[in-house]
Structure 1
Amino acid sequence: MTRVSMPRQEYLWLLPSVLLGDGRSAGPVRRSTRDWFVDTVMFLLACVLNLLIALEMDGPTPLVAAEQVVGVISCLAVWLRRRWPVGLAVVTTVASAYFEMVGGAGVVALFTVAVHRPFKVSGTIAGLGLLTIAPFSVLRPDVEPTGLVYVIFSLTIVLTVFAWGIVVRARRQLIWSLRQRADSAAEEAKRLERERIAREMHDVLAHRLSMLSLHAGALEFRPDAPAGEIARAAGAIRSGAHLALQDLREVIGVLRHHAVTAEVPDRPQPTLADLPPLVAECEQAGMAVRLTMETGDVPEKPGRDLYRIVQEALTNARKHAPGAPVTVAVTGAPGEGLAAEVRNRLPARHGPRIPGVQIPGAGAGLIGLTERAELAGGRLEHGPAPEGEYVVRAWLPWPGRT
């Protein structure tokens, strides 16, 4: 085990830090406008307290002269309360065991320590201040008030100032905690927004890119296709690539705009009424899709969620069962819920896969569908059926009319 040596001077510097709780300052204290105002008020408060004490002293004597010198020094030392709060509090508290005019600076130092240091440090300083009450009453019996009245008065001052500082510290910690919670809530909101954007990006781009792959695979598999079909497929690829780039550009723009903490408006979202055009687009790409819809006027939120679920299910069908017929059935009514069922034949049951058309997948589509359905308060089931088909069933709540 390596031991780190430290010069003796460093130990001497660290000793006050260990005993008093003060850290070594690397430079002068930087005060804000508020800090300057507070420090000036504290300095004037110490001066006023010392002035009131000086007015009660009798005639010029060596003790009075010493009191005045100590009082001036202690008032000037108040400006050091931010750099050495504990050290100032210890010195003024110990000096108050004999000198009366150090009391103003001692009150300010005790309040500063109570605000800026933990209870184990500030409580020790307050306890030391209580212990100096008895020596002062014995060493300075000529100071008014005397006896029990002085003890009660001093106890009241020390405990009141200490309690005031503790309350201020607790309030500041509460405000800091609330700000931390607010910042955490803001970060959580940003994270959820980014997740929502990422989910939308996955749904949209996965659909677009799978259509591109399907068209490109068809061209690769049928190089001898008529020129008209090749032209239509090339046009579909060009149009799909343009839309995919546009979607990606919008998503990146939203993410960049969101990083500036501004509120990002939702881009136009599809609804259940856009499902027939989606099926028509899939049919143009060569998929055999049969759609049946038995719904009324579906609300926007469940309709959009169900549209995304059906879109992802069709994308998965293109990826894992190219060429297989797909049936989509959507039913629902207010109070009963909104349901969708997507079926396609399993690849092993409808023949070999077409070379060059298979689309890779990350396996996150069904996980995203399940999460979307659960977030909407519904459920989603998926898996192979005994009939040799792969089935995706989704149900979303549709509140009844009031």
Structure 2
Amino acid sequence: MTELRGDGVPAHEYRWALPSVLLGDAREGGRVRRSTRDWIVDTLMFLAACLITYLSLVELDKKPEPDPLMALEQVTGALACVAVWLRRRWPVALSVTTALLSSYLELVGGACVVALFTVAVHRPLKISGPVALLNFLTLVPFVALRPEDDDERAWAVALGVTVVLMVFAWGIVVRARRQLVWSLRQRADSAAEQAKQLERERIAREMHDVLAHRISILSLHAGALEFRPDAPPAEIARVAGAIRTSAHQALQDLREVIGVLRHAGPEADVVPDRPQPTLADLPALVEECRQAGMDVRLDLRAGDVPDGQGRNLYRIVQEALTNARKHAGDVPVSVVVAGERGEELSVEVRNPLGARPVRPSGARLPGAGAGLIGLTERAELAGGRLEHGATPEGEFVVRAWLPWPLETTREDVP
């Protein structure tokens, strides 16, 4: 049997039916399973209908009514109060029925008020509006048939219009508040989901930047062994050691990134960052590339660069060197980093286009083609810009410019 929530919504659909649950827009005639709060509210509504019916009965006893009419009033009033328990399942039907009965009978007034309030809360204005209008129209036959003099008729019209207006307005206010609550929850959920998505994208960029560099170096060493199987044992041992070191570093980087992912669960308030490189680590990166056989020249003309911008520069150079290894082969690569505080930081990575590198068995280093796109996004997020492409001189150049403000705060560090 399908479990239903308080407004007739299946439990497995509760998350997706959140607007209906908050606003009470359940299907007409749907089976209802009340929560504890629903039972409390429905009990109070039933008692309110009974109280209004009792007060109306006290006033009715003061009038000389025929016994059959009095008996009909009492039976109908009691049944209407009991029918209040159906207000969640058939709110519109209950309100229309009690409104029609109230066009002549007085003791259904309590149930009629509760039913109108339920419709105003649980149904949109295009439905609750006509129901409220029907309640106004039923005042006409009641005033024409029941009160005995003009004063009583005027009092009945004033009281009826006031009660209908107040109850309907109260229901509209309650519904508007529920809509506001649902809207705020939607915004909070959307903001949380957006934050998770941004964090996933950040971690994905981090994995690409780190692992693409490590694995490309490892593939370069392995390709050298495959290309020169007759190399001296000492050379083979050196390359094998470099492969082992690169593989160990790649696994270590992957372990650190996965550690961040494990800490990024829904129960974590703060996602820890793995240790990040800065511009001071750039010479070590260049030296690592040289040990892998690349001809890299570094010209570093920037001083105490903020950690955030230094990290961006490091990642730009790292990706540019990785692309040079993949696509340009054994050609010289020049890296120039310059800038002054209060102006701009610039980085330029330049290499001849040359011929496509020869790989053993025709193999090529794989690439997703997203590296330069990611670098462009990184530079733009840091408030800078990035350009890349071939030059008329037959070189491929990656240039980036990043802001370097006079004063650096923690907010400047991404």
For residue 368 of structure 1, report the CA deviation from its aligned partner: 1.1
**Who is 1:273 aligned against?**
280
Q: Which amino acid aligns with 2:315?
A: R
Is the alpha carbon distance of 1:143 and 1:333 closer, same or farther for their aligned partners in structure 2, counting shifts above 3 Å?
farther
Partner of 2:407, secondary structure, is: coil
Is the counterpart of residue 124 in structure 1 residue 124 in structure 2? Answer: no
Is the alpha carbon distance of 1:333 and 1:145 closer, same or farther for their aligned partners in structure 2, counting shifts above 3 Å?
farther
Q: Which runs of 4+ in 1 moved over 6 A?
A: none
Q: Which amino acid aligns with 1:309?
A: I
For residue 96 of structure 1, report the CA deviation from its aligned partner: 0.4
Is the counterpart of residue 57 in structure 1 residue 63 in structure 2? Answer: no
Is the alpha carbon distance of 1:96 and 1:145 closer, same or farther for their aligned partners in structure 2, counting shifts above 3 Å?
farther
Moved more, 103-112 or 375-384: 375-384
For residue 337 of structure 1, report the CA deviation from its aligned partner: 1.4
Q: Out of 183, 192, 198, which is 1:192 matched to?
A: 198
Superposed, 1:188-267 pairs within 5 Å as 188-260=194-266, 262=268, 263-267=270-274
**Who is 1:109 aligned against?**
115
Q: Would the aligned equivalents of 1:320 and 1:347 in 2 still touch at CA under 8 Å? A: no
How many residues matched? 378
Superposed, 1:151-190 pairs within 5 Å as 151-190=157-196
Superposed, 1:270-349 pairs within 5 Å as 270-348=277-355
Task: Give the Cα–Cα distance (whole angstroms) in 2 for the partners of residues 358 and 52 of structure 1.
Answer: 90
Q: Would the aligned equivalents of 1:22 and 1:86 in 2 still touch at CA under 8 Å? A: no
For residue 228 of structure 1, report the CA deviation from its aligned partner: 2.0
Is the counterpart of residue 45 in structure 1 residue 52 in structure 2? Answer: no
Partner of 2:299, secondary structure, is: strand
For residue 63 of structure 1, report the CA deviation from its aligned partner: 2.1
Q: Which amino acid aligns with 2:138?
A: T
Structure 1 spans left out of the alignment, 5+ residues: 1-20
For residue 355 of structure 1, report the CA deviation from its aligned partner: 2.9
| CA displacement, residues 128-154 of structure 1 (integer Å, 9 cap, x when unaligned) | 100010101111124996122221211
Is the alpha carbon distance of 1:266 and 1:54 closer, same or farther for their aligned partners in structure 2, counting shifts above 3 Å?
same
Is the alpha carbon distance of 1:132 and 1:299 closer, same or farther for their aligned partners in structure 2, counting shifts above 3 Å?
same
Q: Would the aligned equivalents of 1:47 and 1:104 in 2 still touch at CA under 8 Å? A: yes
Task: Give the Cα–Cα distance (whole angstroms) in 1 for the partners of residues 307 and 84 of structure 2.
Answer: 66
For residue 366 of structure 1, report the CA deviation from its aligned partner: 1.1
Structure 2 spans left out of the alignment, 5+ residues: 1-24, 409-414
Is the alpha carbon distance of 1:143 and 1:268 closer, same or farther for their aligned partners in structure 2, counting shifts above 3 Å?
farther
**Who is 1:365 aligned against?**
371
**Who is 1:141 aligned against?**
147
Structure-1-length-normalised TM-score = 0.89
Task: Give the Cα–Cα distance (whole angstroms) in 2 for the partners of residues 302 and 107 of structure 1.
Answer: 66
For residue 313 of structure 1, report the CA deviation from its aligned partner: 0.4
Partner of 2:220, secondary structure, is: helix
| CA displacement, residues 294-350 of structure 1 (integer Å, 9 cap, x when unaligned) | 1111111111111100000010011111211111111111111111111111123xx
Q: Would the aligned equivalents of 1:322 and 1:358 in 2 still touch at CA under 8 Å? A: no
Q: Would the aligned equivalents of 1:144 and 1:150 in 2 still touch at CA under 8 Å? A: no
Identical pairs, percent: 69
CA RMSD of aligned residues (A): 2.0
Q: Would the aligned equivalents of 1:22 and 1:85 in 2 still touch at CA under 8 Å? A: no
Is the counterpart of residue 355 in structure 1 residue 359 in structure 2? Answer: yes
Task: Give the Cα–Cα distance (whole angstroms) in 2 for the partners of residues 98 and 199 of structure 1.
Answer: 74
Q: Would the aligned equivalents of 2:257 and 2:274 in 1 still touch at CA under 8 Å? A: no
For residue 227 of structure 1, report the CA deviation from its aligned partner: 1.7
Q: Which amino acid aligns with 2:103?
A: A
For residue 160 of structure 1, report the CA deviation from its aligned partner: 1.1
Q: Which amino acid aligns with 1:103?
A: G
Task: Give the Cα–Cα distance (whole angstroms) in 1 for the partners of residues 342 and 140 of structure 2.
Answer: 80
Partner of 2:235, secondary structure, is: helix
Partner of 2:249, secondary structure, is: helix
Is the alpha carbon distance of 1:117 and 1:103 closer, same or farther for their aligned partners in structure 2, counting shifts above 3 Å?
same
Task: Give the Cα–Cα distance (whole angstroms) in 2 for the partners of residues 347 and 360 of structure 1.
Answer: 19
Task: Give the Cα–Cα distance (whole angstroms) in 2 for the partners of residues 87 and 144 of structure 1.
Answer: 33
Is the counterpart of residue 93 in structure 1 residue 99 in structure 2? Answer: yes
Is the counterpart of residue 67 in structure 1 residue 73 in structure 2? Answer: yes
| CA displacement, residues 171-218 of structure 1 (integer Å, 9 cap, x when unaligned) | 111211121121111111111111111111111010011000110111
| CA displacement, residues 258-290 of structure 1 (integer Å, 9 cap, x when unaligned) | 343523211111111110111111111111111
